[in-house]
Structure 1
Amino acid sequence: MSLSIELNQGKTSPLGASINSNGINFAVYAPLAKQLYVCLFDSSGHTEVLKLAMNNNEGGIWSLFITPLPAGTLYGYRAEGEYQPKKGLYFNSQKLLIDPYAKDLFGEFTWSERHYSQMPIGTLSSVNNAIDMPKSRVSELQPYTGAKPLHSWGKTIIYECHVKGATARHPDIPAHLQGKYLGLSHAVFIEHLRDLGVTTLELLPVHSFISEQFLTGKGLQNYWGYNTLNFFTPHKDYLVNDEIAEFQEMVSQLHNAEIEVILDVVYNHTAEAGTDGPLLSWRGLNNPGYYRSLHDNPQVYINDTGCGNTLNIDDPYSLKMVLDSLRYWVEVMGVDGFRFDLATILGRTAHGFTQAHSFIQAINQDPVLSQVKLIAEPWDIGPGGYQLGAFPAPWREWNDKYRDVVRRFWCGEHNMLPELAKRLHGSFDLFEHNLRGPLNSINFITSHDGFTLADSVSYKEKHNEANGEHNRDGHSANYSFNCGAEGFSDDPHVTALRLQQQKNMLLTLLLSKGVPMLASGSEMAHSQGGNNNAYCQNNRTSWLAWKDSQRRHPLTRFIDDVLTLRKKHCVFKHSVFLHDSDKRFAVNWFTEHGEAMQESDWHDGSKQFLMYSLHDRQLETALLIILNASDVIVECSLPKVERGNWHLEVSSVDKNTDKSTKQFNVAAQSSWVFQLI
């Protein structure tokens, strides 16, 4: 690196490192610091060659323009100021800090005592941590220019998957692409998604993340990625050639196949953890602004995330960072939307959750972000943390009540019919009150968190011993049913029932009003061996097993069949709830005798049979759906119709039933769909 450089005041916007002519402008927000430095490193990232004082500007932004300086320059920040934890101040110039706005990182993060401000405890550390820190790297991608699919919510079918786990074991994807962004955009994986009928890929976190130290000490890794190191940089382990443009390329190839990309984003906490956590970035620049703490005791972090800290979205510059990050991923990286982890935190002030929070208002008025897909995980562990149904339009929400009710019904629980009916038709009780419709409900049976679909019919209890926490982690209320044997079984009766039960839940999911989300591996009966919290299992426990038999798995064909049927019927695209006053669509409920259900039928807690029709008066089409969760055969009469006949389209059981029959025996624990022809 040439030492013949010129230094100028620099601009305060944009924040981060930006390329301007033949130089680089650096800008960082640190309002309580006494002095900020840009530290430049050689190309190896090992040697700090220059430490340059930045200039303080109004509003607490420090800036410096350095010329000549090329793209690819490696750098970090150091901050001088008070080290007073009781005041919430953690300035320590010996700690190299990642630029919160870094678009690229270079090198590996290594856990060591060098990252901690007090080492040993009670003694201010004077040890330089640069050797163990990734360096920020100056990078500037051009904005994304590809055409986006723009699928309406009524046509959206979401497939939630992990970048690595989806393709790490796929034999038809070249080895160097397996488990990478470019593996997801490989032709064979795209073909698989299209064969299923998927329109939208939802990726577990791809923001740069690190494993928690307690995991690395046990020889484990953070696999899911909910431990963010930087909000602008793609996770580098998923790159083939360490080029962040590969993410853009992946998005472009998926868009060319008419598949959208949604990111699971974690703007609720960071990898800096709690009071005894490391100094990596935000804590060392503006701890009181970036993190929420007790008003009368700033050294105590509010821990509404369960991860040690909680991002303070009430602070204007924290809010700006999150919004800038979101726009970057839309405008530069090309993504189509976001699923917000622990989204309640993003709408919580000191007085509790409000849909009028500045974050939600900012999103809704933003000309870019208001136009993308927005999905909330509407809960956290903080006070008033469960807010399902409380987000405003145009937000969608993960509906865990849907998940639990459907599972409980197919497990054979009684007294489920009234609530099941609400969930099947979009959960009007949750969304209609604030002028939203059934398409605001993201319906799912399984996700990355919890049992897989196959494990939900193979295990009664969780089996998380491999996580190293003596099976104490993970949910205990799984609403699962092992079909008569815990875990693996070669009993043909057990395996047949397990397949049938998976089909039952898939059929229910894919023919419910709302937006269906499939967890990856559901289509091939992927098992995690009963582990319902595989966040630290970066191995074959989590990676999909792509065998020839799996690619032709009966569940893959079943999903395709049901989704093909769903796409033919406009009722699933209807954006408002069905009521008796609806002029086009009607829903009717029947007993097993083909007669209209009465109030007494709904309140008969012993009933585990539900039959209903969905009519489209305009197109003169209709579906009849039958769900029998009981363990006995039910003699059934199909409801009478004025014209045409009911024709069997799909069922979870392989029966030689007359496809135009009016009466038949509904097998125990089975589901059926008829179409009016």
Structure 2
Amino acid sequence: MNVAFTELDFMKPELGAEYTGRGTHFAVFSAHAEKIELCLFSEDGSEEVARLPLPRREGDVWSGYIEGIGPGTLYGYRVHGPYDPHNGHRFNPNKLLLDPYAKQIAGAFTWDDALFGYTIGAAEADVSFDERDSAPFMVKGVVQDPAFDWDGEEAIRRPWTETIIYETHVRGMTMTHPGVPEELRGTFLGMASDAIIDHLVKLGVSAVELLPVQYFLDDRYLLDRNLRNYWGYQTLGFFAPHPRYLSGGRITEFKTMVKRFHAAGIEVLMDVVYNHTAEGSEQGPTLSFRGLDNLSYYRPSPEEPRHTYDMTGTGNTLNVAHPMVLRMVLDSLRYWVGVMHIDGFRFDLASALGRESMEFDREGGFFDAIRQDPILAGVKLIAEPWDIGHGGYQLGGFPPPFREWNDRFRDDVRRFWKGDSGMIPVLAERILGSPVQFRHSDRAATSSINLLSAHDGFTLMDAVSYREKHNEANGEENRDGHGDNHSDNMGAEGATEDAGINQARRRRRAAMLATLMTSQGVPMILGGDELGNSQGGNNNAYCQDNEIGWIDWSRTDDGFLDFCRKIIAFRKKHPIMRQDRFLDGEPNEDGRVEFAWYKADGGPMDEAAWQDGALRLVGVWFRRITAGETGPDGEIFLVLNAGDDREIALPQSEGAGWQRVLSTADEDAFGARAAADRELIPAQSVVAFVPHT
């Protein structure tokens, strides 16, 4: 292949491979390299047809322009520099490197010892140097044409107060759905099928949050056990959709999915992993960042630069404190928003992104860069507020506009409903939006992302069906996964034919879901929970790309699905339960409060009641106190009863009494009727009353 670099009459600022209409400009960052070669490949990626040193360096950006090279061209890099592991340098030009900015990735990644910069098994271990060519086993970047017809598509930008998130997996959602064409199952186009969108629209959710869809690797040890990386938390390409989810090999399929969701009024959020990469520790392979500039892209160990500093549990930590690494993360986020039209992100192990040095800093460069960015500051940003480093648990510690996954909501609600003692005070906190954690720094009452379950842990059904985790299929002798799930099998471990146990499980799930939907904050539902989906007690299905990890649509609990649709509609109907600011329990000038807590006898909760560890029932009266905002939509009295059947006295309403509009234990949970002065609250139920009109 006879190609050569030519001069541009201007300097392009973009990194990556940018098609200009006449040719392609290649640019890549490395602060410590001595030479960088662009490698071009045949259409099938099997043959390296050209190897050209990038001719230009300005600062630490290496670049070159080739006229006549266009979309579909396969490429990679080889980087020359010092191989000095003890000082953090691991350059090895024998290893083909993926462009960190590659917009599409082609070829099959094949694990082989040649992918490692050192010789596996050598006496010098990772300090040794391996001369084998890794290109035959390595994926390649693909030059892209960004053109796509977005005509008629608009960003939704739905307020947080109107947001209900549905966390799901592209394959898990679609692999067994009978309404998804077989050839599209497990793909972005399968997610965009009428069957899936119709289900989500009828359910009433406003946003889908997709588990990682950026290019990731299947871990070698998983493939050796005939498993693979199902969840996708081993990112290698921060700009490229994962090829496994492309039915026809075109990244426009992802754009088509987003466009279809937007047309249905549903936002698309992405779970993203910028805290580490798939290269692992210094004993991992050399695939991209390590070979481009190990000392810049990764945090070295403070004691010994040979080793990578690991605060993520994966072997490395991406060095977002470096300005060019931070730029890469921001460029990636802007790409997904500006080019792919994504509506927001959930950041995996987000505490790692706030470590400017070794300590978490909520005023750090990553957060400052996000907040000043005109594109990113306006999309939905959600933090998983922890990592495994010292001081990594930072629930409530992130700055606006970030929202945060609230694991305390999950744990405390589960504990309340399974009958743990002393849970009324903490339950009250969760229902109010966890103000102890979030009511500071002018943060909104929507700062807490409330959840009962997520991909990591038990499904809602398994939380009421299993006392212990059952992860044997993962091949780690059931040692993996969290051991403290606050779950309850309610009389039988796993699935049972016992009608009484199944009814009790259904009742508790309904009460838990009603708690989620009537709490301040932003609710998130795990995909499949509305159907009664089970993973057989596996609470760490990260490697189960099979019937364990997939939603089983053939066993849909239609009755519970109907309840889920109605409780979501119930939340939408009552804006008092989804306020943007924290409600105030202190009296205003008229002596009225926005919320108040009540005992079963109709009197207000006092200190003795709050301290009563045996108490299993509590009522809360929410009401707007602004003139003209009272009424059935601006006022509600909730009763949560985790104990036995209990008669209560309703507090005296200012109007014509109360109307009972919800009782999760009833067959007709939403049948409305006038309420008496005293009402029976069924065991394990949430009951709601609104002013009688």
With the shorter chain as reference, the TM-score category is: over 0.9
8 Å CA contact 1:5–1:68 kept in 2: the answer is: no
Q: Secondary structure at the match of 1:208?
A: strand
1:167 corresponds in structure 2 to 174
How far apart in 1 are the matches of 2:279 and 2:587? 54
8 Å CA contact 2:636–2:689 kept in 1: the answer is: yes
1:348 corresponds in structure 2 to 355
2:564 corresponds in structure 1 to 559
How far apart in 2 are the matches of 1:26 and 1:408? 55
Q: More deviation in 577-586 or 642-651?
A: 577-586
How far apart in 1 are the matches of 2:358 and 2:537? 40
2:639 corresponds in structure 1 to 626
How far apart in 1 are the matches of 2:264 and 2:457? 30
1:591 to 576, 581, 599: 599
Q: More deviation in 606-615 or 158-167?
A: 606-615
Q: Secondary structure at the match of 1:231?
A: strand
1:647 Cα deviation from its structure 2 partner: 2.0
- Deviation track 1:562-593 (CA, whole Å, cap 9, x = no partner) reads 12121122223421111125689721211112
1:295 Cα deviation from its structure 2 partner: 3.2
Root mean square deviation of aligned Cα? 1.7
1:90 Cα deviation from its structure 2 partner: 0.8
How far apart in 1 are the matches of 2:4 and 2:615? 80
- Deviation track 1:500-523 (CA, whole Å, cap 9, x = no partner) reads 111011000011000000000110
1:95 Cα deviation from its structure 2 partner: 0.5
2:415 to 398, 408, 411: 408
8 Å CA contact 1:86–1:299 kept in 2: the answer is: yes
Q: How does 1:486-525 map to 2 (within 5 A)?
A: 486-525=493-532
How far apart in 1 are the matches of 2:217 and 2:288? 13
How far apart in 1 are the matches of 2:672 and 2:132? 78
Residue 238 (1) aligns with residue 245 (2): yes
Q: Secondary structure at the match of 2:239?
A: coil
Give the aligned residue type for 2:520.
K
Give the aligned residue type for 2:135.
A
Q: Secondary structure at the match of 2:292?
A: helix
2:689 corresponds in structure 1 to 674
How far apart in 2 are the matches of 1:53 and 1:187? 49
Q: Secondary structure at the match of 1:613?
A: strand
Q: More deviation in 347-356 or 659-668?
A: 659-668
- Deviation track 1:609-638 (CA, whole Å, cap 9, x = no partner) reads 1111212343322212111111x2212222
1:654 corresponds in structure 2 to 666
8 Å CA contact 1:561–1:650 kept in 2: the answer is: no
2:579 to 565, 574, 577: 574
1:8 Cα deviation from its structure 2 partner: 3.6
1:644 to 652, 656, 672: 656
Residue 374 (1) aligns with residue 381 (2): yes
1:600 to 595, 605, 608: 608
Q: How does 1:1-400 map to 2 (within 5 A)?
A: 2-3=1-2, 5=4, 7-8=6-7, 11=11, 13-120=13-120, 121=122, 122=124, 123-142=128-147, 146-400=153-407
8 Å CA contact 1:12–1:57 kept in 2: the answer is: no
Q: Secondary structure at the match of 2:215?
A: coil
How far apart in 2 are the matches of 1:99 and 1:462? 40
How far apart in 2 are the matches of 1:285 and 1:441? 39
Give the aligned residue type for 1:544.
I
How far apart in 1 are the matches of 2:267 and 2:667? 37
8 Å CA contact 1:155–1:573 kept in 2: the answer is: yes
- Deviation track 1:389-424 (CA, whole Å, cap 9, x = no partner) reads 111111101111111110110010011111110110
How far apart in 1 are the matches of 2:400 and 2:479? 38
Give the aligned residue type for 2:76.
G
Q: Secondary structure at the match of 2:59?
A: helix
How far apart in 2 are the matches of 1:246 and 1:570? 37
- Deviation track 1:236-267 (CA, whole Å, cap 9, x = no partner) reads 11111000011011000000011000100000
1:21 Cα deviation from its structure 2 partner: 3.7
Q: More deviation in 461-470 or 175-184?
A: 175-184
Give the aligned residue type for 1:127.
R
8 Å CA contact 1:444–1:509 kept in 2: the answer is: yes
How far apart in 1 are the matches of 2:581 and 2:612? 29
**Distance of aligned partners of 1:184 and 1:644 in 2 relative to their CA distance in 1, 3 Å threshold:** farther
How far apart in 2 are the matches of 1:6 and 1:355? 44
How far apart in 2 are the matches of 1:275 and 1:351? 19
8 Å CA contact 1:415–1:607 kept in 2: the answer is: yes
How far apart in 1 are the matches of 2:487 and 2:53? 60
1:609 corresponds in structure 2 to 617
8 Å CA contact 2:76–2:97 kept in 1: the answer is: yes
Give the aligned residue type for 2:157.
L
How far apart in 1 are the matches of 2:347 and 2:55? 36
**Distance of aligned partners of 1:196 and 1:305 in 2 relative to their CA distance in 1, 3 Å threshold:** same
2:426 corresponds in structure 1 to 419
Q: Secondary structure at the match of 1:294?
A: coil
- Deviation track 1:12-49 (CA, whole Å, cap 9, x = no partner) reads 62111111242111111112111110011011100001
Number of residue-to-residue matches in the alignment: 673
Q: More deviation in 527-536 or 434-443?
A: 434-443
Give the aligned residue type for 2:675.
T
1:139 Cα deviation from its structure 2 partner: 0.5
Q: Secondary structure at the match of 2:439?
A: helix
How far apart in 1 are the matches of 2:675 and 2:356? 59
How far apart in 1 are the matches of 2:308 and 2:390? 15
Q: Secondary structure at the match of 2:524?
A: strand
Q: More deviation in 81-90 or 120-129?
A: 120-129
Q: Secondary structure at the match of 2:381?
A: strand
How far apart in 2 are the matches of 1:572 and 1:672? 14
2:457 to 450, 459, 462: 450
1:58 Cα deviation from its structure 2 partner: 2.7
How far apart in 2 are the matches of 1:136 and 1:655? 56
8 Å CA contact 2:204–2:568 kept in 1: the answer is: yes
1:477 to 473, 481, 484: 484
1:674 Cα deviation from its structure 2 partner: 2.0
How far apart in 2 are the matches of 1:627 and 1:262? 32
Give the aligned residue type for 2:629.
L
8 Å CA contact 1:428–1:437 kept in 2: the answer is: no
How far apart in 2 are the matches of 1:14 and 1:226? 27
Q: More deviation in 448-457 or 179-188?
A: 179-188
8 Å CA contact 1:73–1:138 kept in 2: the answer is: yes
Query: Percent of pairs identical after alignment?
Result: 44
How far apart in 1 are the matches of 2:207 and 2:505? 28
1:219 Cα deviation from its structure 2 partner: 0.9
1:149 Cα deviation from its structure 2 partner: 1.4
